[in-house]
Amino acid sequence: MPAAAEPADRLAESLLAFWADAGVDSMLLDEPVDRIAAGRIAPPRPPERKTAAAAAAAPSPARPSQPDVSGAVALARELAAKAETLEALAEAIAAFDGCPLKFEGAASQAVVYRGDPKAPLMVIGEGPGQDEDRQGKPFVGRAGQLLDRMLAAAGLTERVLITNTVFWRPPGNRTPTPAEQAVCAPFVERAIALVQPKLLLLAGGASAKAILKKEEGILSLRGRWFEWRSSDGSLELPALPTLHPAFLLRQPAAKKRAWADLLTLTERLDRQDRPA
């Protein structure tokens, strides 16, 4: 039979079991040991530094490619130029097959505009939603109803025409892509030329960035006046970005900022309409 464990051995076993149960899986020596000096562990290698030439030669990360929409844009520009009225423009847009949204998100029809064809104010939003797709008019859902109440409170109900940067509903009501907006841009520009408004109100970040060719977010752009220019430089208009009504429904506290934008716009519009 094996010899009975000595009391000191039993004590050591008991201590080891206690520390293991406590989660201790390593122990420290009383005196530090320089493992590198002892040659047991190789010293860490310093990080490799690339020379300027090597850094310049290194391939840059691949950027997501944008679809080539130049052909669709050229066709849209050709069709838009032929439209002499808003009604003719709406027909050209409905017949246009160059925007993929027509076959991806839209369930029924193109959503072009509503309001006064000779309005002094033109509101440009981002894109149609489900309600707009069903009714064929922009801003008729909850966000549109809020927009209408704001316009009415500012005395602009009869002085506005409303449209979007794209004319078909994006799938899942997502934000339209820059490529989709670029395809529809000639139609938007032709609508501005036909209406001849005095001011543009750009509702939402996607609209402001597409129309003004800016990269800043809407919280930075809103409330500031910019000059919009047509692609041929023949038309210039003051443009004011503001918060989208859909954002205001999610963030009611932001309504005071949008209302301040609307008051600023109304004051400038009234000033332009006032006799010299």
Domain ranges of the chain: 70-273
* Residues 111, 94: Cα–Cα separation, whole Å: 8
pLDDT tens digits for range 241-250: 999 999 999 9
Condensed to tens digits (0 to 9), the pLDDT of residues 142-157 reads 999 999 999 999 999 9
List, as own/partner pairs, every contact residues 151-156 make where C-beta atoms lie below 8 angstroms and the sequence separation is at least 24, other chains included.
Answer: 151/123, 151/262, 154/262, 154/263, 154/265, 154/266, 155/266, 156/121, 156/262, 156/266, 156/269
Q: Which of 199, 194, 188, 189 is nearest to 272 (CA)?
A: 199
Rounded distance between C-alpha atoms, residue 245 and residue 255, angstroms: 9
91 with 118: CB under 8 angstroms? no
| CATH number listed for the domain at residues 70-273 | 3.40.470.10
Identify whether the C-beta of residue 273 lies closer than 8 Å to the C-beta of residue 170.
Answer: no
The percentage of residues in the chain with a pLDDT greater than 70, rounded to a whole number, is 75
CA distance 191 to 162: 10
**Could you report the per-residue pLDDT of 162-202, keeping only the tens digit for each?**
999 999 999 999 999 999 999 999 999 999 999 999 999 99
Rounded CA-CA distance 249/203 in Å is 14
Q: What is the dihedral of CA 197, 202, 203, 204, to 10 degrees?
A: 170
On the CB side of 98, CA atoms within 13 Å amount to 26
22 vs 248, more confident: 248
CB 177 within 8 A of CB 64: no
Query: Which helix (H) or strand (E) segment is 115 a member of?
Result: strand 114-115
* The pairing of beta strand 121-125 with beta strand 160-164: parallel
Other C-beta atoms closer than 10 Å to the C-beta of 135 total 16
Query: pTM of the predicted model, to two decimals?
Result: 0.76
Residue keyed to tokens 């439209």: 83
- The CA distance from 196 to 120, in Å, is 7
d(CA 93, CA 84): 13
Token digits for 269? 């519009």
